[in-house]
Amino acid sequence: MATQLLHIFRNTPFGRETLLQSAYFCVQLDVTLVIYTPEFTKFLMYFDNDVVQIDLDGSYLTSPQTAREHALELVKDSGVTYRFLDPKQFTANSLPDIPTNFDFMACPRSISDLSSKIGLGYIGPRVRRIVRSARFPVLMSSPVFKPWQSVAVFFGGSANAVNALKIGLHTSRLTNKPLHVFTYLENDNRNTLQQIIEEEHLEADMDADVAKWHFFDRGTLEDNLYAIPHDALIVLGAFGHGLVRDLVFGSKMEKIQSVMPNNLLIVGPKYGVTI
């Protein structure tokens, strides 16, 4: 079965940019783009241990009569393989069930929040629940379509960080784009991190495929984030232990979101779990 990415289309200029970004991601990784043009402001996603109700803001129903036409115009010449999703199951008349058996999902950072809260530096609670519950990584697009020219992995040593590193290695190989690994050292734990790499049998991959492993051992995290290329796809883990947990869903989250406008590929704790 083909690898697939689910994209919820918003028929607005902002939605245009995020769909272009999803199409670009899919072309780069040879992924089929599955486009859902919602007819209702709510839908359900049944994950293994959670049911997430997504409450879209009204902009997702902007000019529904032209939504599919606009989406088709954006993707038909992009080279991406695509299809449209028409929900088959409904929990209620206006509450469709959206499948969760995808390999990726694209989410704006504020997919489920009131417009007064929408901002680059704010990730909505429903998006957090999707990341926490999904067995697929979540692509959070930059606000304006931007091709990425490299892959940047944040690595802090957690299990989710290891998964993010593996995805980064795979992405770099598929796209032939350089891979850089970034670690913020609050303690001098390089030996511990190197041991984790060895235990995961990733030494050869690191030597062959990583252009450079960058260690930040001075200044604040915010100061060091300037070193991340502006045109990199950032890959990082969520809900891990230590650094990665703090980076993605901890006290520094809002700061990082406001500092880093890059496309983010977030790997949650259920990634790779088989039932």
**Residue 275 falls inside a structural domain:** no
Mark whether 165 and 127 lie in a shared domain. no
Mark whether 103 and 170 lie in a shared domain. no
Using DSSP, state whether 217 is helix, strand or coil: coil
Give the pLDDT confidence score for residue 152 in this predicted structure: 95
Least confident of 49-53, 115-119, 161-165: 115-119
Least confident of 23-32, 123-132, 223-232: 123-132
Residue 246 scores a pLDDT above 70: no
- The whole-angstrom distance between residue 53's C-alpha and the CA centroid of its chain comes to 19
Q: How many domains does the chain have?
A: 2
Tell me how far apart the alpha carbons of residues 146 and 137 are, in angstroms, rounded to a whole number: 20
pLDDT digits (tens, 9 = 90+) for 89-109: 999 999 999 999 999 999 876
Give the domain range for residue 156. 150-267
E-assigned strands of the chain? 4-8, 32-36, 42-46, 51-55, 82-84, 89-92, 95-98, 104-106, 138-140, 150-154, 179-184, 210-216, 232-237, 264-267
DSSP secondary structure letter of residue 169: H
CATH value at residue 193:
3.40.50.620
What integer is the mean pLDDT of 155-162? 87
What is the CB-side half-sphere exposure of residue 195 using CA atoms within 13 A? 4
**pLDDT averaged over every residue in the chain:** 85
Residue 258: pLDDT band (50, 70, 90) is low
Mark whether 164 and 240 lie in a shared domain. yes
Mark whether 121 and 14 lie in a shared domain. yes
Mark whether 128 and 155 lie in a shared domain. no
Question: Which residue's entry shows tokens 């950032």?
Answer: 234
* CA-wise closest residue to 154 among 167, 164, 144, 163: 164
CATH value at residue 9:
3.40.50
Mark whether 168 and 221 lie in a shared domain. yes
pLDDT digits (tens, 9 = 90+) for 203-215: 999 999 999 999 9
Sheet holding 95-98, edge to edge: 51-55, 42-46, 95-98, 89-92
Residue 241 scores a pLDDT above 70: no
Indicate the pTM of the whole model: 0.89
Q: Which of these three, 140, 162, 188, is where a domain ends?
A: 140
Mark whether 227 and 182 lie in a shared domain. yes
Which are the contacts of 252, defined by CB distance < 8 A and separation ≥ 6? 221, 246
**Residue 274 falls inside a structural domain:** no
Separation in Å, CA 116 to CA 57, 110, 112, 119, 199:
11, 11, 12, 8, 46
**Residue 272 falls inside a structural domain:** no
What integer is the mean pLDDT of 150-159? 90
Least confident of 105-114, 143-152, 240-249: 240-249
Tell me how far apart the alpha carbons of residues 261 and 42 are, in angstroms, rounded to a whole number: 27
**Residue 191 falls inside a structural domain:** yes
Q: Which of these three, 140, 167, 188, is where a domain ends?
A: 140
Mark whether 217 and 262 lie in a shared domain. yes
Mark whether 257 and 193 lie in a shared domain. yes
**Residue 239 falls inside a structural domain:** yes
Residue 33: pLDDT band (50, 70, 90) is very high
